[in-house]
Amino acid sequence: MSLAETLCRDQAHSVLGQFMVGAPNEIDLDTIAWHIGRLRVEIGQLDTAEGRLIAGDDGGFIRVREGVRPVGRQRFVVAHELGHFCLHKAASALDTFAQLTDWRVGSRE
């Protein structure tokens, strides 16, 4: 495992620990998004991406493209954008379908 992958895993475990998550079904992405960056999660129009993060000093939002199915994939997109926020303090991130194709089996991205 690369240093970047180790950093990502450590950051994810840290966030889950802060919210006392013991199992995947206990992960409340809306609550985590709000507490770590005052980010709102919404479903809406996106023409060229599966998910989008827009964040500033006063909060922001994570948008998931309307029509993304199943719910597990929607949750993956939200968690992925939260990862950008936690790891890079990204103000904006745009992820295309091609970047998020391996959501079931995991990928570097």
pTM attached to this predicted model: 0.78
- For residues 82 and 28, the answer to whether their CB atoms sit within 8 Å is no
Q: Quick one: pLDDT band at residue 103, thresholds 50, 70, 90?
A: very low
pLDDT in tens, 46-74: 988 999 999 888 899 999 999 999 999 99
The tokens describing 70, both together, are 């199943």
For residue 11, the one-letter residue type is Q
- For residues 5 and 34, the answer to whether their CB atoms sit within 8 Å is no
For residue 38, the one-letter residue type is R
pLDDT at residue 42 greater than cutoff 70: yes
Q: Quick one: pLDDT band at residue 109, thresholds 50, 70, 90?
A: low
pLDDT at residue 97 greater than cutoff 70: no
